[in-house]
Amino acid sequence: MIERFRVIEGYCSKLKRAEGYTDVWAIVKNSVKTSLGKHRVGMMLFLDDLPLSLGAYHSVGTNNIVLNRRLVEIVEANTDSKLKVNAFVYSLLLHEYLHAIGYLSEDEVRNLVYRVSMECFGKNHVATELARNSPWALLAGIKLDEPISPKAPMRVVKDFDGSNVDYIR
């Protein structure tokens, strides 16, 4: 029981202090390793302006996750809580990482997102609430109009998965 509390306390603290995609990604990978005993290296993150109904995606057979830049910007603009933004990004990245390590069923992945979040953050943490209710719960009451402005170019997040440095030379 004490060990579980320490795990939860550690993950909660790390997510609260996370300063960007790379920090949140490290938490995603560690939480999956802790909860499911699985991991994958060499992932890349791209930010793109996707339709607002799509949070992120992973194309099977690639090392790529594409995150919806517009949705993250909307969450950032509508909350003063860095923790909520980090939990939103965590939830989306966790979902796609689970696809990347081989879980293809959407229902299974949603259940695993909840399980990993619950085991690593506890039942009352915002990350677990988003896993239970959907990341879109943070967007409730916010009018989501598709922007008229031109789409910005896709951007790769530099130094995203530091664990792949050893095999790229």
Kindly report, residue by residue over 37-65, the tens digit of the pLDDT. 999 999 999 999 999 999 999 999 999 99
Instruction: Say if CB 33 and CB 94 are below 8 A apart.
Output: no
Q: What is the pTM of this model?
A: 0.92
Give per-residue burial for 45-72: e unless 16+ CB within 10 Å, then b. Answer: bbbbbbebeebbbbeeeeeebbbbbbbb
Residue spans per domain, the chain: 2-161
Whether residue 148 has pLDDT greater than 70: no
Kindly report, residue by residue over 12-27, the tens digit of the pLDDT. 999 999 999 999 999 9
